[in-house]
Structure formats: C-alpha cells, structure tokens
Amino acid sequence: MDILSPVSKPAVVLLSGGMDSAVCLALAKRDRFTIHALSVDYGQRHAIELDAARAVARWAGVESHVLMPLALRPFGGSSLTDRSMSVPKDGLGEGVPTTYVPARNTILLSLALALAEVRDAQDVFIGVNAVDYSGYPDCRPQFIAAFQELANVATQAAAEQGKCTTIHAPLINLSKAEIVRLGASLGVPFEQTVSCYDPTVHGVEVAACGRCDSCRIRGKAFSDAGVPDPTPYAAQR
C-alpha cells in the first residue's frame, strides 16, 4: 500500500530579498507549503534587494512570485525612501532610527493578506525579528499578535467561510546568529541575499557599505554563528 504524502497547503511568504526573509521562505519550503512569494517595490533606495528576491524565489522553486509596485516615497519620513535624508552609519543614536519606514510591516502584511485570500491560502509568513534588530515597533510580537486578530475580522474568507489566517513569524524570537545557523542548515543561498541599506552597484556587482545598521547586524550574525559571510563589502573592493 502506497503511503500518501501530506497535501501541500498554499502559503504567502513576504520576500524582501534580505537574509531573514530568505530563511523564512526556506522554512515554508521545508514544511512543504505551496509558496506564493510577495515582494514589494515601495521606492526603497536599496531596490537591488528585489533582484535578490527574484534569485531566492528561483532557488526555492516557488509556485508564483508577485513583484508589486507601491510607491511610499511620496510620503517621505524614512531615509530608505527619502534620498534627501542620509542612512545612519557607524552606530545608532537613541530611539527608532530614520531607516524605519512608517507602518511598513502593516502595509506589507495587508498586501500579503489580500494575496492569501485570492490564492486561498490561510498561512502568511513574515521574517520579522525582535531580538537583534534596529528597534522598529512593527517587528515586535505584540504587533504580530494584533495583526493576527485584525486579519481574522478583515476578510470575506474569514467572515463568510470561517477561513482564518495564521501569521507565521518563525524568526521573531531568534538571535541573528541563530537565524544564520538555521539558514545554513536549510541550504539558504546567503550569497544571493542583500541586507545593506546603502549598497554600491557597479553593473551586476553589488557591494554592501559595511557601515549601516543592517550591515553591522548581518556581519556580527555571521561572525557569532561561525559561518563565513559571503557578503562583498565596499571596503573589500
């Protein structure tokens, strides 16, 4: 008698092209979800991460990959979308840094929820992390819990069909070093990911600045994990 494989369920995975979202995608792949990846071009100055998202999506063999333009640049308020502001380098001051994009994860999860309803998916994955992070308020467990509650009163699928959505944030309580080790065990192609907020692009070559908060956190994560960092940094050029 043949042993039947579990039926694969559809899931939406938010895929930025960074290290955390790639590991999150790999976890959904490991758990045999049929993956619909969603990447958003919101006017980020490090738009090269979208090329990284495409590469990681190809590696994972996703069912579909939606790349959605949604310009947040006209709002301003963040050094990631407003080029008149400088990305902080060499350490941060007090409070939430200027690289915080107002309500970004609320917006991204809302888009993922809409895509999930269309794809008949009841699982949404996001790679937020509340341990080694920059102090963004929308990376905390209470934010994920609140959005989970909102999601299940917000859709026709929930209201009329009782199809509730689960928001998965599997990395939220891990250190960055633990995320690196987990990704390495899953075969994540870290060399294809981009974390830098202010990279230098020369044709097809991308060099991370090595000085922004995201670079510093990433570099320390690989060092603490004892895993070689494949990132090309500008200082190495």
- Domain 10-191: CATH architecture, name and number where available: 3-Layer(aba) Sandwich (3.40)
Smallest CA-to-CA distance from 23 within 167, 92, 126 is with 126
Q: How far apart are CA 161 and CA 14, in angstroms?
A: 24
% of the chain with per-residue pLDDT over 90 = 86
The residue extents of the domains of the chain are: 10-191
| pLDDT, average across residues 16-20 | 97
Torsion of CA 210, 216, 221, 222, to 10 degrees: 20
Tens of pLDDT, residue by residue over 28-57, are: 999 999 999 999 999 999 999 999 999 999
Q: How far apart are CA 122 and CA 134, in angstroms?
A: 29
> Could you tell me the pTM of the whole model?
0.93
Tens of pLDDT, residue by residue over 78-135, are: 999 999 999 999 876 678 899 999 999 999 999 999 999 999 999 999 999 998 777 8
CB 38 within 8 A of CB 68: yes
The chain-wide mean pLDDT, for the chain, equals 92
* pLDDT for residue 3: 46
